[in-house]
Structure 1
Amino acid sequence: MILDEGHLIKNPSTQRAKSLLEIPAAHRIVISGTPIQNNLRDLWALFNFCCPELLGDNKVFKEKCENPILRGNEKKASDEEKRVGSDVAKCRGPITLEKAMLNHIVYFLELRECIQPFFLRRLKSEVFREDDGEVAKLSKKSELIVWLRLTDCQRQFYKVFLNSEMVRSSFDCSQLPALTNLKKICDHPLLLTKGGMAEKLLMHIANGERDKFQETSDRISCKISFTMSLLDKLIRDGHSVLIFSQTRKMLDLIQASLLSRGREYLRIDGSTKASDRIKIVNNFQEGTGAPIFLLTSQVGGQGLTLTRADRVIVVDPAWNPSTDNQSVDRAYRIGQMKDVIVFRLMTCGTIEEKIYRKQIFKGGLFKTATEHKEQIRYFSKRDLKEIFSLPTEGFDISPTQQQLNKEHDHQVKMDESLRSHIEFLNTLGIAGVSHHSLLYSKTAPVQVADEEMEGR
């Protein structure tokens, strides 16, 4: 049995996963570009399907492997926790925990060595070869985080919503509705249509901002305003562009702005018939269709080859980092001959900044668990929990950008074309740029236990 997009069985409690496990097969193969999407139990589920019992029971795996790696991956982890997390991932055998960490001996699963014989990881650079066996020249991919400042209208909505009853009540029940509305404000306040939320918030907003909200101008949304300005240059310079959003409604607003400017576009979302999708993709790839392609991340982010595009705009970040990565890989895949630039739009001081920090944390977990090197611990759990709070440094500054620049600025090497392009971005009133491509490019110093610690 061979499963493509095998990460779809990451939840073993779903009917899909249970049904597949019941099908008898002498050999099982899972193919996935994103084996870990949210936590290490995703990896456990895939191996439980392919190699039952290799990583033990789900509960045991969580207690003896996932939890120590999680603790050791935090920025504020103690030296002992970092050492334990490192040893767990590297499988250095039985580790003695200090008293503060349950005061008993835990024998950790030898994660990396266990999975190594059954885990084949191939990079594009390893399979992209000429017929004669020599390595072909890969096109380059530059991923930029473009930090945007909320418009005055968005700031008003954001502040008012944080003081709303929905946010206050979310501490006692599900936080998902409140989180979703915060994300909508970062995209465009007009997305707050369910239950008359926009009208309720408008009652608490100054008259001047109410007037702006009634306008159809792009100035209401920093993302649409930036995207339109960026497209003006990209299309003028002859580029083809993919624009991904999590929601159809945001694509509707982007589409309306394109139409108002007389720009042609193609589009695929959940309402597009399967037969129509093939025609639209072919029109784009063959160059007969418009150079702007609008897609929802869930529908357009998997399985499609869209190598005509050499620019990708990810309008809003997903909690699951693999969702955004899959979107980027529609353009940057085998067959792409042009250099690709990715623009990930992020608003300063908002929930999006916290989503991005969560993405980085999850990405570090994957590399810690599967590669023989320790990742920089960028953020602590406290950083990830401060969701419903106004930014202490305001909406004009991104603490994440400052931290990433401090960590990686000295590594930045740009050719003249990319440097010139970033200079152009800075003329559009953005808060700054971070180089997403440099994440995990440095390893953390290995934590060496002293004699006293080893003697415990």
Structure 2
Amino acid sequence: MKSEVFLDCGASEEKTLAKKNELIVWLKLTACQRKLYEAFLKSELVHLAVQPKGSPLAAITILKKICDHPLLLTKKAAEGVLEGMDEMLNDQDIGMVEKMAMNLADMAHDDDALEVGQDVSCKLSFIMSLLRNLVKEGHHVLIFSQTRKMLNLIQEAILLEGYKFLRIDGTTKVSDRERIVKDFQEGPGAPIFLLTTQVGGLGLTLTKAARVIVVDPAWNPSTDNQSVDRAYRIGQTKDVIVYRLMTSATIEEKIYKLQVFKGALLRTATEQKEQTRYFSKSEVHELFSLPQQGFDVSLTQKQLQEEHGQQVVMDESLRQHIQFLQQQGIAGVSHHSLLFSKTATQPTLSERCTGQQTSTNVHDAPAPLQGILIRLCCWAAFAVKPKDGKFTAPRNSPSNRIAES
């Protein structure tokens, strides 16, 4: 793993791998986005989607697009609403998605809520304010989104600012991709590189960039991690900062919690350490509920601050940069890198076998059975965590003789 690589092979002096700071930037929905989000959750279409024969995935896709930019849901953009969805959807699901998109488009036009501009989307507004700061400081930036439609809106805003940029998505010819990557890595020009997650998230080396913006979270955490690894890989000499944009109290926050849960399961299986749980089972069933605390507060951000606030260690430049981010009207910042740095406290093997945890039940048993029960508890603990220590039991004890007989 990269975390285990310390020396840069071929260098005359010892050199450590560059640091990576992953920041979760919690954004507040604009008034327009809140209006659409609440109206959609209260609509009959969502009620039908959560029925046994409905399609929750279709409704989730609509909510994700509202979080990105309401203009994705106009009639002109409705035909592309299927973009980014699984190919396993049947015809009924596809028809439901199109119906939802057209309904939201009509809703937006009836209320005259949508206006062309950056202020309509909290994500686009934050991206542009961040780019002004990063480009001014001379950084190169990668911007990943799951959909071409969102990249189009970001591209329009970048053009209005007069920035140079490069772009790769599903419509880019394979023969042109190598040239575009080479222009970014070796050319003098564009400080901004726009990429779709599916096309630009694998196989590319873009170490010239030290800043990565992940516009929308994916269900699979490895998808976002692969995007980040375009910049944070062997050969990167600068410290990398990753900005994962998340809207507070929305479907995106709930997707992010599921990402954390999947990551914890992976680490529990591969590292044999019980990871801290960050959500309850009941929260999985609340995907389509309005937040009781409102859209300006992220309960996840508060929870992560309580869990990891004391662990945050930052140099002065990163501290100043986070202060700049917090001045942009956001709900807060979390440190994604610290998510799996804490493990749940588990009793050691010796504690399990001393009878401390079994004393209440074991000592209530008849005397001849107590030794058998204690021995079985020790064997069960050793079977679950065999690497925690070597199991031994006294061979000549009375309880041992009873168990063997």
* TM-score category, normalised to shorter length: 0.7 to 0.9
Give the partner amino acid of 2:72: L
Q: Decide whether the 8 Å contact of 1:143 with 1:436 is kept in 2.
A: yes
Q: Residue type of the partner of 2:191?
A: P
Paired with 1:334 and 1:394, the residues of 2 have a C-alpha distance of 43
User: Are the structure 2 counterparts of residues 237 and 153 from structure 1 closer, same or farther at C-alpha, using a change threshold of 3 Å?
Assistant: same
* Other-structure match for 1:262: 162
Distance, in Å, in 2 between the alignment partners of 1:401 and 1:453 is 41
Find the partner of 2:35 among 122, 146, 156: 156
Q: 2:26, 2:246 within 8 Å by CA — same for their partners in 1? A: yes
- For residues 345 and 337 of structure 1, what CA distance do their matches in structure 2 show? 25
Shift of 1:222: 0.2
Equivalent residues of 1:125, 1:138 under 8 A apart: no
Distance in 2 (CA, whole Å) between partners of 1:236 and 1:277 is 27
The equivalent residue for 2:60 is 179
- 3-state secondary structure, aligned to 1:142: strand
The residue number in structure 2 matching 1:67 is none
Instruction: Name the CA shift for 1:238/1:169 in 2 (closer, same or farther; >3 Å).
Output: same
User: Matched residue of 1:200: which SS?
Assistant: helix
Give me the CA root mean square deviation: 2.0
CA distance in 1, matches of 2:279, 2:230: 29
Match of 1:24 in 2: none
Of 182, 200, 206, 2:103 maps to 200
The whole-number CA distance in structure 1 between the counterparts of 2:24 and 2:137 is 21
Amino acid at match of 1:180: T
User: Which of 134, 138, 145 is residue 238 of structure 1 equivalent to?
Assistant: 138
Q: After superposition, where does 1:78-89 map in structure 2 within 5 Å?
A: none
Q: Deviation at 1:427? A: 1.1
1:357 touches 1:384 (CA, 8 Å); kept in 2? Answer: no
The structure 2 residue matched to 1:361, chosen from 261, 282, 294, is 261
Unmatched tracts of structure 1, length 5 or more: 1-121
1:422 aligns with 2:322: yes
Aligned to 2:251: 351
Asked if residue 140 in structure 1 is aligned to residue 19 in structure 2, the reply is yes
8 A contact 1:162–1:389 mirrored in 2: yes
What displacement does 1:197 show?
4.9
334-343 or 285-294, larger mean C-alpha shift = 285-294
Distance 1:446 1:134 in 2: 42
Give identity over the alignment, percent.
Answer: 61
SS in 1 for 2:128: helix
Question: Which ranges of structure 2 fall in alignment gaps of 5 or more residues?
Answer: 79-97, 363-372, 378-405
Give the partner amino acid of 1:168: H
The CA deviation string for residues 74-95 of structure 1, in whole angstroms up to 9 with x for no partner, is xxxxxxxxxxxxxxxxxxxxxx
Is the 2:62–2:101 Cα contact (8 Å) retained in structure 1? Answer: no
* Cα offset, 1:347, TM superposition: 0.2
Indicate the larger mover: 263-272 or 126-135.
126-135
The Cα of 1:135 is off from its aligned counterpart by 5.4
1:10 corresponds in structure 2 to none
Alpha carbons 2:8, 2:17 under 8 Å: kept = no
1-structure distance, mates of 2:117, 2:147: 20
User: Could you tell me which amino acid in structure 2 is paired with residue 298 of structure 1?
Assistant: Q
The count of aligned residue pairs is: 332
Matched, 1:331 2:212: no
**1: CA distance, partners of 2:106 / 2:309:** 44
Q: 1:414 to 1:264 in 2, by over 3 A?
A: same
Whole-Å Cα distance in 1 between the matches of residues 312 and 3 of structure 2? 22
- For the pair 1:406 / 2:306, whether they are aligned, the reply is yes
Distance 1:133 1:127, change over 3 A: farther
Query: TM-score, normalization: structure 2?
Result: 0.78
Which of 268, 272, 286 pairs up with 2:172?
A: 272
Paired residue type of 1:150: L
Which residue number corresponds to residue 33 of structure 1?
none
- Whether the aligned pair in 2 keeps the contact of 1:124 and 1:333 (CA below 8 Å) is no
Q: Of the candidates 209, 219, 241, which is equivalent to residue 341 of structure 1?
A: 241
Shift of 1:405: 0.3
Shift of 1:352: 0.1
8 Å Cα contact 2:20/2:240 also seen in 1: yes
2:45–2:100 CA contact under 8 A, matched in 1: no
Deviations 1:242-276 (A, max 9, x none): 00001010001101111122111100001101110
Give the 3-state SS of the residue equivalent to 1:223 in structure 2.
helix
Aligned partner of 1:114 in structure 2 is none
For residue 392 of structure 1, report the CA deviation from its aligned partner: 1.1
Once residues 232 and 251 of structure 2 are traced to their aligned partners in structure 1, the CA distance between those partners, rounded to angstroms, is 28
In structure 2, the residue corresponding to 1:290 is in which secondary structure?
coil
- How far off is 1:384 after superposition? 2.2
Shift of 1:360: 0.2
Q: Quick one: which amino acid aligns to residue 177 of structure 1?
A: A
By how many angstroms is 1:191 displaced? 1.0
Tell me the SS of whatever aligns to 1:225.
Answer: helix
C-alpha distance in structure 1 between counterparts of 2:179 and 2:241, whole Å: 26
Distance 1:223 1:406, change over 3 A: same
- Aligned CA distance change for structure 1 residues 138 and 443 (closer, same or farther; 3 Å): same
Which deviations, in whole Å up to 9, do the C-alpha atoms of 1:266-296 show, x marking residues without a partner? Answer: 0000110111000000000003330100000
Is 1:389 paired with 2:289? Answer: yes
Q: Is the 8 A contact 1:189 1:198 kept in 2?
A: no
- CA distance 1:370–1:390, shift in 2 (3 Å): same
Whole-angstrom distance in 2 between the partners of 1:318 and 1:309: 22
Please say if 1:167 is aligned against 2:70. no
2:256 partner SS: helix
Residue in structure 2 matching 1:297, options 176, 184, 197: 197
Q: Residues of 1 paired with 2:39 and 2:122: CA distance?
A: 18
Query: Contact 1:240–1:309 (CA<8 Å) still a contact in 2?
Result: yes
Q: Which residue of 2 aligns with 1:252?
A: 152
Q: CA deviation at 1:150?
A: 0.2
Shift of 1:373: 2.1
Cα separation, partners in 2 of 1:369 and 1:338, compared to 1, 3 Å: same
Inter-CA distance 416–169: structure 2 relative to 1 (3 Å threshold): same
Distance 2:56 2:6 in 1: 43
Which structure: larger Rg? Answer: 2
> Aligned letter for 1:234?
L
Once the 2 structures are TM-superposed, how far is the Cα of residue 130 of structure 1 from its aligned partner? 3.2
